[in-house]
């Protein structure tokens, strides 16, 4: 009798549950299926594993951000400046060439013994004819590298890689309105015409790439904004699991105007790449020992006299800022890093690119 009562009790408990499931199944057109008790432990295990994975990822990001990457990068910078003895240069550079796939046939000086230290080797110049300029496209690649992401800016958010975004306002900092129309969003603030949209493209420079960056179009630079910050790696693998990575890292933002309105070129620093150099701005100093979190430093190029440094930069200054021409050398990194272009263009603007595509300085980016 005890066994019968137990079975009856279990049956009474299961009837309402089955009835509810049948009703839900009928309401959803039969899409709802009762889950057997055997699958419930698996579902619970998957849930706790996902929570554990998120916690581990959060802890890993926090731990990585606590690493003194600025100090390590300054130490690496000093090491790069140490002159190597002649007998050691060729073995060291040959190992680097093999590891990162450097094409020394494109270098202005192919003789490895010519480079006194690692810094000179990283910043090697190219032969003039190896990077022909695309004259049929209004926008060309500012650097050698890989296309991480590109497209239209939506909701004032920009994708650093597919599915991982950062705030446009955090990245560029406060901006003045480009028109007299009231702005409903930060993106609208940058647009000079309602007929235009904002677009972006991200180029990742690996350690084996040519480390200079060039002007992607004819434009006028009005402002330089320097954001001191972290120097975490900007490799695609890291960019996938740190949201807002480009906003955390040190960067130099050049903003101004091109034929369609607002235009900006941002050089983002990375681990061992604390040195970002802009040829026409000798006052810029990156990866300094001390800085206040969240601060930035502006320098206006409007109505100022600049002493333009060499390195192939022939920028001219007028009352509106520094005039740069397409293909002109603008600056360099001490090692591989990232260039982000953010610009205004007509709504029918389209990129002629693929994610992950290899690209070189001077090659066309668009089909406008």
Catalytic residue set: 144, 214, 337
Spell out the residues 6+ positions from residue 172 whose beta carbon is closer than 8 angstroms to its own: 225, 253, 255, 264, 266, 342
Q: How far apart are CA 79 and CA 118, in angstroms?
A: 8
Q: H/E element holding 345?
A: strand 338-346
- Within 10 angstroms of residue 174's Cβ, the number of other Cβ atoms is 10
Handedness of CA 242, 247, 252, 256 (dihedral sign): positive
Tell me the H-state helices in 149-297. Answer: 168-172, 186-190, 236-239, 245-248
**What ranges make up the beta strands (E) of 185-275?**
196-204, 212-214, 219-227, 251-258, 261-268
**How many alpha carbons fall within 13 Å on the CB side of residue 102?**
24
Judged on CB neighbours under 10 Å (0-12, 13-18, 19+), 212 is buried
β-sheet bridge partners, residue 262: 257
SS3 content of the chain, % helix, strand, coil (to 5): 30, 25, 45
Give the number of residues written for the chain. 368
């Amino acid at each position: 009798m005890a066994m019968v009562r137990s079975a009856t009790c279990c049956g009474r408990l299961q009837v309402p549950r089955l009835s509810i499931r049948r009703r839900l199944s009928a309401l959803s057109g039969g899409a709802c299926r009762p889950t057997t008790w055997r699958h419930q432990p698996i579902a619970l295990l998957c849930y706790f594993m996902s929570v554990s994975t998120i916690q581990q990822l959060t802890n890993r990001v926090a731990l990585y951000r606590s690493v003194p990457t600025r100090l390590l990068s300054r130490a690496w910078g000093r090491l790069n400046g140490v002159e190597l003895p002649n007998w050691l240069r060729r073995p060291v550079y040959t190992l680097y060439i093999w590891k990162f796939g450097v094409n020394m046939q494109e270098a202005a000086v192919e003789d490895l013994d010519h480079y006194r230290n690692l810094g000179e080797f990283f910043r090697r110049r190219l032969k003039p004819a190896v990077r022909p300029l695309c004259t049929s496209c209004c926008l060309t690649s500012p650097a050698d590298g890989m296309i991480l992401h590109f497209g239209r800016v939506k909701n004032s958010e920009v994708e650093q890689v597919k599915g991982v975004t950062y705030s446009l306002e955090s990245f560029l900092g406060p901006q003045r309105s480009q028109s007299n129309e009231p702005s409903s969003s930060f993106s609208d603030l940058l647009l000079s015409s309602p007929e235009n949209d904002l677009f972006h493209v991200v180029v990742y420079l690996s350690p084996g790439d040519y480390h200079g960056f060039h002007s992607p179009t004819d434009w006028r630079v009005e402002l330089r904004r320097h954001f001191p910050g972290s120097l975490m790696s900007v490799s695609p693998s890291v960019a996938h699991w740190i949201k807002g990575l480009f906003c955390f890292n040190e960067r130099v933002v050049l903003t101004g105007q091109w034929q369609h309105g607002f235009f900006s070129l941002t050089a983002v620093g990375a681990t061992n790449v604390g040195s970002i150099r802009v040829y026409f701005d000798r006052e810029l100093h990156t990866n300094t020992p001390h800085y206040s979190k969240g601060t930035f430093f502006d320098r206006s190029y409007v109505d100022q006299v600049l002493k333009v440094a060499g390195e192939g930069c022939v920028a001219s200054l007028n009352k509106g800022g520094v005039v740069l021409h397409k293909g002109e050398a603008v600056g360099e990194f001490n090692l591989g890093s990232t260039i982000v272009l953010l610009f205004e263009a007509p709504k029918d603007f389209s990129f002629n690119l693929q994610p992950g595509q290899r690209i070189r300085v001077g090659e066309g980016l668009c089909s406008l």
